[in-house]
Structure 1
Amino acid sequence: MREDDAPFGLPAATVDAMRTVLSRHPGVRRAVIYGSRAKGNHRPGSDIDLTLFGDGLTAADLLAVDGALDALDLPYRIDLSLHADIEDPALRSHIERVGRVLHEAAAVPARD
């Protein structure tokens, strides 16, 4: 499979590994890729712009996810952020327009 044939221009194994890491962090309700990889105009070696959504995510959560993704030893730089901390309205608008969901946590069933 060519890199361009894979989701976000990334090998399927890379996408799967990233999803596995994100699923191990229950506070992360959703992770969205934006930028060139979401728009499909990435180049070989383009970074991965990734923002995390979740109620109450903290800087400690961001560092934990960043460390776990770094441990994958991927050949890509990951620009990781907490969506709630993004203040630039143009960047928020860009994420809303072109962002593509990489990970979405399963809904927790209600208890009776």
Structure 2
Amino acid sequence: MAAGRFGLTEDDLEKLYNVFERHPQVREVIIYGSRAKGTHRPGSDIDLTIVGDVDWQAFNQLELDLDDLLLPYKIDLSLHEHIDHADLKAHIERVGQTLFCAEQRPTYSPEPARD
């Protein structure tokens, strides 16, 4: 399957969305780093930060759920409100893009049935 948005396949994106949807406290997921900038390479990690009312227990469950996807990428996950590094926050503000928004989830329509 061909890579698309952020160098991820539609199947990979759908798997990620499904995980985030199962966690109602996740309001938004921001992707940053090389995948957001379009400078990623095959095997580049996926840098994600979570926006929402996510406690550490929910965060740990998110990490486990993402790991269970068995994607061929390392996922670096953080809670946006807990990032203390000013340069990292500035980088996220500058290049970060919304990967998932609970209020604006993209819809994927299957191919229409053919008779």
TM-score by structure 2 length?
A: 0.86
**Structure 1 unpaired stretches of 5+:** 108-112
Partner deviation per Cα, 1:22-75 (whole Å, 9 max, x = no partner): 0110000000000000000000000000000003x2111111111111111111
Instruction: Please identify runs of 4+ aligned residues in structure 1 that moved more than 2 A.
Output: none
* Number of the residue aligned with 2:56: 59
* Number of the residue aligned with 1:2: 2
Per mean C-alpha deviation after superposition, the further-off stretch among 36-45 and 57-66 is: 57-66
Which of 44, 47, 59 in structure 2 is aligned with 1:46? 44
* Number of the residue aligned with 1:87: 84
**Across the two proteins, how many residue pairs are aligned to each other?**
104
Instruction: State the identity %.
Output: 50
Deviation of 1:2 after TM superposition, in Å, equals 3.2
* Number of the residue aligned with 1:15: 13
User: CA separation in 2, counterparts of 1:37 and 1:50?
Assistant: 10
* Number of the residue aligned with 2:96: 99
* Number of the residue aligned with 2:74: 77
TM-score by structure 1 length?
A: 0.88
User: CA separation in 2, counterparts of 1:91 and 1:67?
Assistant: 24
**Structure 2 unpaired stretches of 5+:** 105-115
